[in-house]
Structure 1
Amino acid sequence: MRRKGELPTKTCVQCGRPMTWRKSWARNWDNVLYCSDRCQADAKKNHARAKG
């Protein structure tokens, strides 16, 4: 078993906060970009605004 400090971390693309590996993300850790549903929704809003 790993200690929490030994788990891999990433930075959220939207808010820049560090996020730690979660068991629910085990299958798709490489594809995780956002720390929360809110950050993901904000990113989609900003992308839609920029697009036009």
Structure 2
Amino acid sequence: MAKRIEKSNLPVKTCVVCNRPFVWRKKWSAVWDEVKYCSKACRTRKQTAAGAATRL
């Protein structure tokens, strides 16, 4: 049986759009190093935020 990881010991990252912390998820296990956004909404908002910054 595989060794269990306690939820309190899961890796944490900060979303580059909303700056909120988010925790490792099993579906991200293969790509955890590339994960930058906490949700689909933030991934969608990244283009809007980048576009707004260049217009200033």
TM-score, structure 1 as length reference: 0.87
Please tell me whether Structure 1 or Structure 2 has the larger radius of gyration of its CA atoms. Answer: 2
Q: Which amino acid aligns with 2:26?
A: K
Contiguous gaps of at least 5 residues in structure 2:
none
TM-score, structure 2 as length reference: 0.82
Q: How many pairs align?
A: 52
Contiguous gaps of at least 5 residues in structure 1:
none
Deviating beyond 4 angstroms after TM superposition, the runs of 4 or more aligned structure 1 residues are: none
Q: Secondary structure at the match of 1:13?
A: coil
